[in-house]
Structure 1
């Protein structure tokens, strides 16, 4: 496949001038007929790896996807981009299914989505040679090693035997080495090239807070974010309902989502969230698979997850459009104990406990959290990220030897038979039944730490646990016991440093500051326009343009068609369908606010194009040389022509086309952008031909 076709299709259908890391390498391998396994985090751009080849390959691309909701979302998105796609599943009527089969037979579809349970439909009408590519989404579902095993996926191995000459591409967001190997084996693609993208989602900020007064902290966090979409993950159904009720009472559009609701109710809540009718979902981990919503701005974990895989996947649902997004995890000792109980009842208890320990270490870390998270997935970073709470507020260390001696000595005198709560009460000289009833007031360590607050003692003791001086005997009612390392501090004059407990209120106030989106901002007006168009068409708003595209429109303020199509995320079909309305809104806003148009992002980029054009390169050659879409080069040439440079547009279109557009211009009374001309010619003349002709005619008139 030639470069110019790839970059041209990328801009025309998806609105991008360049590929993300690994995308082009994967796509090139597909065109060479190779099998591929792609491990790319949520929001990393997996879909384009098979959707773009699907557009350019001669026959149909078969996509296996686990959820009907996810299939519908993907197909709607493809249609909005002008790509012929459909999905086939058991929820459709026989008439609907027959129509799709007929479309396939007539070669009118480029991509067909099928649930694994519905593969029998495919066998009836597809033969080897009719399928150009097989894409298996959420491929980890095939492996019992994966975190979301689905038995229906195990039958997919027959596809390679059924279509031996067709390349297979298997895609997933998370898969460890054992799962990757299992995917290749079960899909009968042992020689597949494995592509592992970076797991570093730099746009996600990471934060962990103590799990005290969580609802109060959540309300503070959501203040000023009432137009943003977010998810709050909870361990219990009751928590989802309590949090949702509290948020509703404070004016937020929130719903609880859990397995106790009917299928119909869960579907409604999910649809409302996808379509921006609900802003916040308070959910158990049952929620999320199949959510392709790109404008989720934050994810909060009300309770600690049981492992880093689940945590990473859940926070990955925020910021899929690449814009800055926030994640927050509440960490409490009680959650750890609860999760320990769950793990103790599991068949693979040792594995579950080990994974929980890693989750706990992440939550209680005093070093860059992103480095810890990435190292878990085998990606090592030398530099701190600068976008986690530890990097933003580095801990200050102090000589903690005396504090450690007091705590360790008290554990020793309690004979390792009490949990953290009783230990702190003894250190602080509490006079409650738990202390006085056992005569602990007679111990030498009783009250030796009364000058330190209960909460500070808790955080210092957790540090001692993390440093290996103390361990929790979970099988003995969570009693704290000394490790051999404690002897060094108690008896051998050992020293250690502890992190100071910073003022959490100050930190939280600082971290909760956010640039509030004003209701009268251009972004908000474009968002409302997008929402209205989406409701008219019955599709999620982010399928029209995602937030990142709207933000770029707000920044660049394109007021002509050639400026508008240079915005990332604006392809030809979306330009034709929505360009007029958005440009009109931007022009109206600029008039209202009397803003001057900001410089275009391209700067002198068109001058570089002029140099190559003057040197005699064709549009295609310039496109390849500059790694820009042909559409971008066309817009440069128009700009240069309008600026008086020696550009002969008649080399790019025929005089007959110019005459045809001249005639159309005379006949159309009130043209509304290029779309009017496009429809006038029944799509016989493409966008750029019309634009070139209008540019030539405008110069003639002047």
Structure 2
């Protein structure tokens, strides 16, 4: 291998020729340099930071085939399309491929730069035998957090990869993930045999995503308003299959194309719906988390959660499917106290040795939704970073909220829950606290309790947000029959040993529609007719080639074309995202449209 400077110069040339980029982004150069030097690496890079380029570029430059272990067939096929469009010789070897024999022949003949396989296949002895038939340049393990029991998407087959890697000890390993805290990173390094000095952490910030988290008061109305604000493609995550179907049907009645995705649908329906979403420029997918890592669509403009995710790691991973192209995007979560109540009940089903870690994850998520601080700062601190106190691109930074110390009111509420027998819902407890003597209150003798009527008219509006906050932190827990009982740190609150603060509930008039940095048509904010004409050409070419439009060119490339008005292939080739293969295939067609304008 040439020395470091020569290797990087060659890498930059290959970067421009293959992908059309004049420079690396972020830590891409550091990762590529290690791979070219034959050193094993774990790269933790945020979604949209160009992880796939860090193995695709060396695969083009190094002799032999790069074997990519990837967890989902749909994800492999997306990456295969993108790689092929850039002129990279790639293939997949999966149960869904009819050309398996041809792929094996191409591999043995040394005609593949990339070979994508699932971990289930990669861990088998017969696959290891196949790899001895041709030189291997690199092992790339995508979504590497799946190897760790501490990760949020644990896949046992990932833990069986080590024998394969060790049998080709001279071949460097590149593990890639967007979500791994310190504990998970250490586990990945150990499981895949990568030295500690091989860890590269790019940081977790996605500055183009605007985070917003709001209490759920009418999910359907809130989601319809979001769809009105966001005309581009989007994903809505719902907690159950039934809720997915319900939301997809109701939101689709508004005229926008909205499809469902969950594990209860047939494989054919799931594949058809996913293909429609990937190819669309405005469709919305309502899905469970089954619609997960296989989403390699760069122009998703919003991700909404109609309930809480499993953890901050899951939230980061799911919201990270927005704005992979770097354009402004939105992540909105609508949450309710019942979400946390169900999640805390499920903790009882978790294996005992994992329960404390899962409880800590849920507490961290509760902090994120209840905070008045910068959402991004809390997210980044969770992953071990030291961010600025404010980001300027989350709801709390854009519309700062106040914080109230409601410890005294919390003591009143918890006392009323306790004195009424820890078996009634908030509605009944609220009547007791505010002194409303209905038949049920009188019949139970609750009008004679010391807590009857101790909450005044000024405090009453705070009871619901307070109860929601107490349920989020586990101080109030649901009973089997829908009542509330004391839990968590409730006794410490009652004794004055723990404080309770809540965000000041927003007034109704503050809930105005926001068209912030990601509102309107972010793809074409000025309505440039040339941009729209280029987009129409891209749509036609994509349909003709049977690929999603973004595989031809990203919106950012079209915007640069519209702004620069190139008049020759040489000028067009200077625009970001246009490599030699795409320039040759599509250059004249796009120049023709530019000349017309």
Q: Structure 1 residue 98 and structure 2 residue 113: aligned?
A: no
Residue 336 of structure 2: aligned partner: 332
Q: Any idea what SS the aligned residue of 1:223 has?
A: helix
Distance 1:504 1:57, change over 3 A: farther
2:565 counterpart of 1:532: no
The 2-side partners of 1:39 and 1:123 are apart by 27
Asked if 2 retains the 8 angstrom alpha-carbon contact of 1:294 and 1:319, the reply is: yes
Query: How far apart are residue 426 of structure 1 and its match?
Result: 2.7
Whole-angstrom CA distance in 2 between matches of 1:222 and 1:569: 30
**Separation in 2, partners of 1:414, 1:63:** 60
Stretch deviating more after TM superposition (246-255 or 419-428): 419-428
Q: Distance in 2 between matches of 1:486 and 1:415?
A: 16
CA contact (8 A) 1:129 1:165 kept: no
User: For the structure 1 residues 453 and 526, does the alpha-carbon distance in structure 2 shift closer, same or farther, using more than 3 Å as the test?
Assistant: farther
Match of 1:117 among 94, 116, 120: 120
Provide the secondary structure at the position in 1 that maps to 2:82. Answer: helix
The 8 Å contact of residues 128 and 164 in structure 1, kept in 2 or not, is answered as: no
Quickly say closer, same or farther: Cα 1:74–1:402, change in 2 above 3 A. closer
Q: Is the 8 A contact 1:420 1:480 kept in 2?
A: no
SS of the residue aligned with 1:509? Answer: coil
What's the offset of the Cα at 1:332? 0.6
Cα drift, residue 229 of structure 1 = 0.9
Partner of 1:502: 506
Residue deviations 1:287-320 (CA, integer Å, cap 9, x gap):
1221111111110000111211111111011111
Q: How many residue pairs are counted as aligned between the two chains?
A: 580
Post-superposition Cα deviations, 1:243-277, rounded to whole Å, max 9, x if no partner, equal 10111100011111111111111111111111118
Match of 2:485 in 1: 479
Match of 1:357 in 2: 363
What is the CA-CA distance between 1:487 and the residue it aligns to? 4.7
* Structure 1 residues 345 and 12: CA distance shift in structure 2, 3 A: same
Partner of 2:248: 244
1:184–1:192: 8 Å Cα contact kept in structure 2? Answer: no
Range moving further from structure 2, 438-447 or 166-175:
438-447
The answer to whether the Cα contact below 8 Å between 1:128 and 1:165 also exists between their aligned partners in 2 is no
Q: 1:149 aligns with which of 154, 173, 177?
A: 154
- Among 382, 400, 419, the alignment partner of 1:376 is 382
Report which stretch shifted further, 406-415 or 211-220: 406-415
Partner of 2:181: 176
Question: Aligned in 2, Cα 1:535/1:423: closer, same or farther, shift over 3 Å?
Answer: same
Q: Does 1:317 align with 2:325?
A: no
- Look up the match of 2:444: 438
Local SS of the residue matching 1:147 = coil
Deviation per residue, 1:106-154 (Å, 9 max, x gap): 3322112222333456445433871111111122223333322223323
Q: What is the correspondence of 1:188-587 to structure 2 with a 5 Å cutoff? A: 188-190=193-195, 193-226=198-231, 228-276=232-280, 279-347=283-351, 348-397=354-403, 407=413, 414=420, 418-432=424-438, 434-443=440-449, 445-449=451-455, 451-452=457-458, 456-462=462-468, 471-473=475-477, 477-480=483-486, 482-488=490-496, 499-510=503-514, 514-516=519-521, 521-587=529-595
Deviations along 1:205-253, one digit per CA (max 9) or x if unpaired, are 1101111111111111111533x11111111111101110111100011
CA distance in structure 2 between the partners assigned to 1:552 and 1:562 by the alignment: 15
Residues 400 and 236 (structure 1 numbering): CA distance in 2 closer, same or farther, change over 3 Å? closer
- Give the number of the structure whose alpha-carbon radius of gyration is greater: 1
Partner of 1:35: 40
Instruction: Give SS of 2:331's match.
Output: strand
CA drift at 1:563 = 3.5
Name whichever of 340-349 and 325-334 sits farther off.
340-349
The verdict on how the C-alpha distance between 1:160 and 1:399 changes in structure 2, with shifts beyond 3 A counting, is closer
Summarize the Cα distance change of 1:508–1:160 in structure 2 as closer, same or farther, 3 Å threshold: same
The structural deviation recorded for 1:478 is 3.0
Provide the C-alpha distance between the structure 2 equivalents of 1:323 and 1:454, rounded to a whole number of angstroms.
43
Say which SS state the counterpart of residue 28 (structure 1) adopts. helix
Q: Structure 1 residues 272, 426: closer, same or farther in 2, change over 3 A?
A: same
Q: d(CA) in 2 for partners of 1:98 and 1:264? A: 24
Point out the more displaced range, 241-250 or 375-384: 375-384
Does 2:57 correspond to 1:57? no
**Shift in Å at residue 495 of structure 1?**
10
Structure 1 distance, partners of 2:411, 2:362, is 28
* Maintained 8 Å contact 2:405/2:502: yes
Q: Deviations over 1:147-167 (max 9, x none)?
A: 222233233112233212111
* 1:82 counterpart residue number: 87
TM-score by length of 1: 0.76
Aligned 8 A contact 2:471 2:477 in 1: no
Check 1:151–1:444 CA distance in 2 against 1; reply closer, same or farther (3 A cut).
closer
Which shifted more, 263-272 or 389-398? 389-398
Q: Distance in 1 between matches of 2:161 and 2:405?
A: 60
CA deviations 1:398-440 (Å, max 9, x no partner) are: 6768756765675676576655443333334445555344233
1:108 matched residue in structure 2: 111
Alpha carbons 1:255, 1:278 under 8 Å: kept? no
| Unmatched tracts of structure 2, length 5 or more | none
Q: 1:434 to 1:309 in 2, by over 3 A?
A: farther
8 Å contact 1:272–1:278 — kept in the other structure? no
Residue of structure 2 equivalent to 1:68: 73
Summarize deviations over 1:587-627 as a string: whole Å, max 9, x none: 43x4xxxxxxxxxxxxxxxxxxxxxxxxxxxxxxxxxxxxx
Distance verdict in 2 for CA 1:187–1:502, change over 3 Å: closer
What's the CA shift string for 1:631-656, capped at 9, x where partnerless?
A: xxxxxxxxxxxxxxxxxxxxxxxxxx
On the 8 A contact 2:144/2:175 being kept in 1, the answer is: yes
Q: Do the aligned partners of residues 472 and 111 (structure 1) sit closer, same or farther apart at CA in structure 2, a change above 3 Å counting?
A: same
| Cα distance in 1 for residues equivalent to 2:180 and 2:42 | 10
